[in-house]
Amino acid sequence: MNGKKVDLMSDNMDKKELTEKSETQRIILPDPTRLILSPSPHIQTGPGTGKIMLLVIACLAPAIVASLMFFGLHALRVLVITTASCAAFEYLWNRISGRKSTLNDFSAILTGILLAMNTSSLTPAWVCVAGAFIAIIIAKQIYGGLGQNPFNPAAVARIAMLTGAAGAMTRFPAPNSIFFAPIPDALTTATPLGAAESFSAMGKGVEYFNSSAFLWRAFIGETSGSLGETSALAILIGGIGLIALRIIRWHIPVSIICTVAVFVSLVNHFSPGTTPGVLFHLFSGGLLLGAFFMATDMVTSPVTVKGGIVFGIGIGILVCVIRIYGSYPEGMSFAIVLMNALVPLIDKVCYIRPFGHQNIKSGRIEPRRGEIK
């Protein structure tokens, strides 16, 4: 510090200052050459990109623990392979395209975990690596990296694996029985959704899926299915954590869940027996995981609150249409990618009106209303 030696003894310091001061105080002035010169504003609030991604991973932790609990080592294997290959592909891309490494914003690791959550624990390694390649390189990096991709990378990779390697993706193991008795043999290979689909196709009743025993089992998560999807309880804990930390807005998940509930109850009302009840649809398949973690991905969801609600309703309808009428048992990833395609249109249609917009449009000046006192 290039401090200047100045004696400061002047009378107008008030009493509190005098006691602090010794008889001569060395005045230090800041060094002007090491100042940062930048236009306003000069303070920043709220977490940065990296911190946000870390918080989302933290909120995913309950779902990860539940999947490890139910599917054991296989789950760990898939989780590690997918996340590691996602990070590796991102590092390779940055190295090839000469950009500085963007691994420190943890988005690649988050995508990896989300992708692993969507796959079953028996997925072969090559399918995981191929999924990671599609998620990171094709769905994100060639659009210019984080923030520029129109589609959710995890959802795109899930669809690609589902349509590409259908065989590998539809083998689901039975969960370790911790809370309930081992599940009946009819359900071992297929997910609850798949079983419900085949039951209704063969004309057998779907009451079993509405029984409270099965619903409790689906809520806790002890049914066969993808890694993160089975345990609705774990996802709800993580989701409410996300909303509490104000990382996502509640409008998208709530509108998805309400739309699905309305649509399924309508279908049950008009043509009963084709599909199980509302709670079954909410707790099984990737609905909750998609609603709280994938549909609310900031980059690919609408910016405004109104847009979020329209986005949620769209996903809800598409999920039910594909699940009930389509041939695929699980429609969440398709619904998310289809609605991601609509997001630019939604942003264009329901953008918020600027302050006093109606006056600008009509050209008239706000009349003097608003009384004083």
Partner 1 sequence: MKIFRFKGGFHPAGHKELSAGRMVKDLPLLPRYTVMLRQNVGAPPQVCVKKGDHVEKGSCIATAAGILSVPLHSPVSGTVGDMVTVPGPNGTAVEALEIFSAPAEEQKWDGTLAPIDEWRDTSAAILKKRILDAGITGMGGAAFPTHVKLSPPPEKVLDTLILNGAECEPFLTSDDTLMRLHARAVLTGGAIAAKILGITEIIVGIEENKNEAVSAMEQAAWGIPGVNIAVVPLPVKYPQGGEKQLIYALTGRKVVLGTLPMDVGCAVLNVGSCYAIWDAVLNGHPLVERITTVTGTPVVSPGNYRIPIGASLSAVLENAGGIRERSNVGKIIFGGPMMGFAQYSLEVPVSKNTSGILLLERTEAAQFTGGPCLCCGKCVEHCPMQLPVSTLSKACENERYDLAQKNHVLACLECGVCSSVCPARRPNVQHFRKAKTELKEIQWKEKNKKI
Partner 2 sequence: MVAVLILAELYAAGLIIGGIGLVLGCVIGLVVLFFSVKSDDRIEKISELLPGANCGGCGFAGCGDFARAIVEEGADPASCVACSALLASEIGKVLGREITVREKKVAVVYCSGDKSRAVACAEYNGLSDCRAAAAYAGGGKGCRYGCVGMGTCARNCPFGALEIRNGLAVVHPELCTGCGKCVSLCPRKLIHLVPASSKAHIYCNSLEKAAVKRKVCKAGCIGCKKCVKAFPGLFNATGGLVRAVEPEKLTREDLEKISCPVHVLHLVEEDFPCENVEKKEQKQ
Partner 3 sequence: MTIAELLPVTVGAVLVNNIVLSRILGICPFLGVSKKLKTALGMGCAVTFVMTISSFVTAVLYHFLLKQPLTAGSFKNLDLSFARTLVFIVVIASLVQIVEILMQKFSKSLYQALGIYLPLITTNCAVLGAAELNAASGRGIILSTIYGCCSGLGFALALLLFASIRERLELSRIPKIFQGASIALVTAGILAMAFMGFAGLVK
**Residues binding partner 3 (CB under 8 A):** 97, 138-139, 142-145, 147-148, 150-151, 156, 159-160, 163, 318, 321-322, 325-328, 331, 333-335, 337-338, 341-342, 344-345, 348
Give the orientation angle of helix 212-220 with respect to helix 232-244, to 10 degrees: 50
The angle formed by the CA atoms of residues 254, 258 and 259, to the nearest 5 degrees, is 115
User: Counting contacts by CB under 8 A, is residue 36 touching partner 1?
Assistant: yes
| Phi, psi (deg, nearest 5) at residue 4 | -105, 140
The answer to whether residues 134 and 85 touch, using CB atoms and an 8 Å cutoff, is no
Tokens of 27: 């005045």
Nearer CB in complex with partner 2: 35/201: 35
Cα dihedral value 335, 293, 192, 76, nearest 10: 130
Residue entry with tokens 């057998």:
204
Based on the number of CB atoms within 10 Å of its own CB, is 173 exposed (0-12), middle (13-18) or buried (19 or more)? middle
The answer to whether residues 274 and 267 touch, using CB atoms and an 8 Å cutoff, is yes
Q: Which stretch binds partner 1 (CB under 8 A): 72-80, 131-139, 200-208, 302-310?
A: 302-310
Nearer CB in complex with partner 2: 38/327: 38
Q: Segment 240-279, which members bind partner 1 (CB under 8 A)?
A: 249
Please pick, from the candidates 22, 38, 212, 327, the single residue that binds partner 1 as defined by CB under 8 A: 38
Amino acid at 284: S
Please pick, from the candidates 19, 22, 37, 212, the single residue that binds partner 1 as defined by CB under 8 A: 37
Nearer CB in complex with partner 2: 1/73: 1
Based on the number of CB atoms within 10 Å of its own CB, is 84 exposed (0-12), middle (13-18) or buried (19 or more)? middle
Task: For residues 168 and 171, give the distance between their C-alpha atoms in angstroms, rounded to a whole number.
Answer: 6
Least distance from C-beta 30 to partner 2, angstroms? 12
Least distance from C-beta 1 to partner 2, angstroms? 17
Convert residues 142-181 into a mask of x (bound to partner 1 by CB under 8 A) and - (unbound).
--xxxxx---------------------------------
Q: Which stretch binds partner 1 (CB under 8 A): 20-28, 75-83, 126-134, 270-278?
A: 20-28
Task: For residues 93 and 99, give the distance between their C-alpha atoms in angstroms, rounded to a whole number.
Answer: 8
Please pick, from the candidates 73, 96, 201, 372, the single residue that binds partner 1 as defined by CB under 8 A: 372
The residues that touch partner 2, with contacts defined as CB under 8 A, are 32-39
Q: Give the three-state DSSP class for 222.
A: coil
Nearer CB in complex with partner 1: 34/269: 34
Please pick, from the candidates 3, 182, 272, 273, the single residue that binds partner 1 as defined by CB under 8 A: 3
User: Counting contacts by CB under 8 A, is residue 345 touching partner 1?
Assistant: no
Least distance from C-beta 98 to partner 2, angstroms? 17
> What H or E segment, with its residue span, contains residue 15?
helix 15-20
As a residue count, the chain comes to: 373
Tokens of 228: 């993160």
Nearer CB in complex with partner 1: 20/23: 20
Candidates 330, 307, 210, 333; CA nearest to 255 is 307
Amino acid at 152: N
Nearer CB in complex with partner 3: 141/223: 141
Nearer CB in complex with partner 1: 148/198: 148
Q: Which residues bind partner 1 (CB under 8 A)?
A: 3-4, 6, 8, 10, 12-14, 17, 20, 25-32, 34-49, 51-52, 105, 144-148, 249, 298-305, 347, 351-357, 359-360, 365-366, 368-373
